[in-house]
Amino acid sequence: MSADVARRIPVTLIPGDGTGPECIQAARRIVDASGAPIDWEVFEAGAKVFKKGLSSGVPPETMDSITRTRVALKGPLETPIGFGEKSANVTLRKLFETYSNVRPVRELPGVTTPYSGRGIDLVVVRENVEDLYAGIEYMQTPGVAQALKLISFKGSERIARFAFEYARSEGRTKVACATKANILKFSEGMLKRAFEQVASDYPEIEPWHVIVDNAAHQLVKRPEQFEVLVMTNMNGDILSDLTSALVGGLGFAASANIGGEAAIFEAVHGSAPKYAGKNVINPTAVILSAVMMLRHLGLFDEAGAIEHAVFVTLESGVLTGDVLGYDRGTPTTEYTDTIIGNLGRRTETWSVRDVKPLQLPKLDPAPDYVKATSRAVVGLDVFVETPLTAAELGASLMDLTRDTRLSLVMISSRGTKVFPPTGAMTETGDHFRCRFIIRENPGDLPDEDVHQLLARISREHRWMHIEKLQEFDGELGFTRDQGD
């Protein structure tokens, strides 16, 4: 029990959809039975809210509660098709800037997998608010879609630091950073650079970088080599789901979404509507998410007691239908009762980690960003839709822009240079990227020259996207093309 019994801690509780309420009820009963001084504030989000016509899936009173409590435990939420474009789960993560998604995965007693006996015990730390997950997309032509992958240095630094702090809080000795920096030098490379920079503040922890596809390979081949992995959002999404399959599946996959202002704890699994109301769902993922929540709140004794009770229960062979088959599994309520009955007992064969308080990276309230000492705009990429061939488009653009300050140096199709011709067999469509560079007297290109160039191109061609080509501190801020 924590020292100050009088102190009660308010927590927002969101039962969610499908089997969510059953899982949440199990976790709530166990947390209460542990003596943790939680005052639950129950609020809605998800399917019912979408159906009321609120396209975010999260009503203001739920937002208000989390803004007040700063901590939520939630069941899975559905995003019914046709009621809104955005997932309510993603909405909550983004609106409360919970920039870290934490997905611990470890071998569990009684849950046999092809990896049993190898001692898997790893944590995926996933950046949670940037990257392709922002869902910024454009149809650039009727047949070409573009999504933007945006990665900031500050966002990368923050998640890298979080990963090291998390490792430190759990007494871990290694942190791996998995990126695709070999192909995406700027965006994925941003996390790699931030990671390498931050690592020096944690001399007791060994940092290593691994290419993300190799990480996927290694996680299947030798998962026991990993302790903590940090990744950008989309890669972390895929690899954290991979890891949860190593140890018994989504019924056991807990997660935390942690930011500087608020934290949301939830199971990884969906609402599993076909099992709803049947008292068969495995509530362990939500229970272990509640354990993470108690540690976040500093209630280490209660958290440890529940974790021990879960392990003792699993060791005794009390297991739910997802493990034993739904005709033979222990019902959800009985499984919950067994865990409550085991509170106070300690596993003999399984270890429970001695967790220290997590130090969240301190953030300056003022907006913070990287500054360059010197900078210049040196050209422009103009994305054009046209039925012309690359050669015809090239000739036309050269003609149109002959007396401007900018010179056409290249046209590419999906990143491969197609003009001037390279002899390659590249197929093209109706979507081209046309690169213009300052013809002479390189320096900072004024916007007037940009406007003039666009006016010229607009005379004969349809463009839909422009990128300025910049230099920061003497480094090119744009990539070259395949074949260039």
Q: Which is nearer to its own copies, 182 or 316 (CB)?
A: 182
CA-CA distance, 294 to 263, in Å (whole number)? 11
Residue number with CB closer to its own copies (21 or 273): 273
Give the shortest CB-343-to-its own copies separation in angstroms.
31
How far CA 351 is from CA of 227, 308, 347, in Å, comes to 15, 9, 7
315/460 with CB nearer its own copies: 460
| Shortest spacing between CB 69 and its own copies, in angstroms | 13
From the list 385, 352, 322, 301, the residue with the least C-alpha distance to 34 is 301
Alpha helices in 247-343 (DSSP H): 284-296, 300-315, 321-324, 332-341
**Which residues, at least 6 apart from 322, have a Cβ–Cβ distance to it below 8 Å?**
249, 251, 281, 282, 329
Degrees to nearest 5, angle at CA 357 with 234 and 208: 45
Cβ 364 to its own copies, closest distance in Å?
Answer: 10
* Measured distance CA(357)–CA(188) in Å, rounded: 30
CB of 292 to its own copies, least distance (A): 20
Asked if residue 109 has a cis previous peptide bond (ω within 30° of 0), the answer is: no
**Are residues 309 and 343 in contact, defined by beta-carbon separation less than 8 angstroms?**
yes
Q: Which is nearer to its own copies, 37 or 260 (CB)?
A: 260
DSSP secondary structure code for residue 131 in this structure: G
CB of 271 to its own copies, least distance (A): 14
Name the nearest CA neighbour of 51 among 74, 77, 76, 75: 77
Query: Could you tell me the smallest distance in angstroms from the CB atom of residue 369 to its own copies?
Result: 4
Choose between 170 and 237: whose C-beta lies nearer to its own copies. 237
Q: Supply the minimum distance, in Å, between the C-beta of residue 333 and its own copies.
A: 27
Which residue lies nearer to its own copies by CB, 187 or 347?
187
Q: Beta strand pairing status for 406-413 and 416-419?
A: antiparallel
Q: Name the residue nearer to its own copies (CB basis): 340 or 464.
A: 464
Closer CB to its own copies, 3 or 370, in the complex: 370
What SS3 class is residue 209?
strand
Contact 181, 232 (CB under 8 A): no
* Choice between 333 and 452, CB closer to its own copies: 452
- Interacting residues of 399 by C-beta distance below 8 A, sequence separation 6+: none
CB of 284 to its own copies, least distance (A): 16
Residue 385: CB minimum distance to its own copies, A: 9
β-bridge mates for residue 207, sequence order: 175
